[in-house]
Amino acid sequence: MKSKKTKIWLAAFLAPTLILFLGFYAYSILTVGITGFTDWKLGEPIRFAGADNFIKMFQDSTFHISLKNTMVWMVLHWVILVGTSLLVALATLKKSRLSKAVRVIYLIPKMMPLAVIGFLFYFMFNPSIGLVNDFIRKIGFEDFNVNWFQDARTAFLAVTVTTIFYGGVFMLLISSEIAAIPTEVYESAKVDGATESQINRLIVMPLIKNIVGTCLILATVDCLKTFEVIYLTTNGGPGDLTMNLPVMIFRTAMNNSNYGYANAIAFVTILIGAAAMLLITKVFRIGKD
């Protein structure tokens, strides 16, 4: 009887969230998927186009570049953003003034909107007044003058540095999970003669793998919705060199008024995100341990 009442209460609490989810997210995804199969352009009647948009997509060189860039940035988000956050969290395990200062400094970028980060790095990499070029000139390269965001040799690197600057929240999540590990676990390991690196590798890492997996999922979401930074710094240029899927969706819809094709790209982006999340969930066994 008690179990039945508990289930009823749980259903009552979950119902509003489920209704909102179905009303906003599920409906939106379904609409994007359906309209991806239409020829929908501004000022023209919508007509069913079958798989034409998807066939066109996989023949589109701009889509190939956007997909490649998105996947490369996704892997870099996993390796650099989450990896660095993990290292910082492990390095600042001991409660000291230095470790607290490092955590605060690492977290500061996350307090700023992405648009601000984009403008900040746009001026830092400015060829005339930017801090980066100025520093390189001062250390002996007087004639150095690179337009980082517009030069084909450096644009991808500059955008990568800008987007990866934004990862403090992962360190905070991992640090919180590490802090929840009972001190008795560390003490028992030290009594058994385990070194600090062995404790981190054999005890801490297995205990925090769920939160690391969660951080990888959040990094995937961040990567797949990265728009402001690229739009404000390169707008996908030079050419299409720094184009990613969100910027391509925006250009296709807003500049070309081709909403059917834009929604087809958006639907593929959603599927990529879902596949990546399922893979991470399976590898890290999130929620099973």
* Sequential DSSP letters for 195-223: -HHHHIIIIIHHHHHHHHHHHHHHHHHHH
The tokens describing 265, both together, are 């790209």
Is the pLDDT reported for residue 169 higher than 90? no
The CA R_g of the chain, rounded to the nearest whole Å, is: 23
The tokens describing 1, both together, are 């009887």
Question: Is residue 246 reached through a cis peptide bond, with omega within 30 degrees of 0 on the bond before it?
Answer: no
Domain assignments of the chain as residue spans, ordered by start = 54-284
**HSE on the CB side for 78, CA within 13 Å?**
14
CATH 1.20.1440.230 fits 54-284, yes or no: no
Is the pLDDT reported for residue 50 higher than 70? yes
Q: What is the pLDDT of residues 99-133, one digit of tens each?
A: 777 777 777 777 778 788 888 899 999 988 889 99
d(CA 213, CA 156): 27
> What does the pLDDT read at residue 3?
65
What's the pTM? 0.86
* Structure confidence at residue 91 as a pLDDT band (50, 70, 90): confident
Written as one letter, the residue type at 288 is: K
The average confidence (pLDDT) of the chain is 87
Which residues, at least 6 apart from 52, have a Cβ–Cβ distance to it below 8 Å?
A: 39
Q: What is the mean pLDDT of residues 145-155?
A: 93
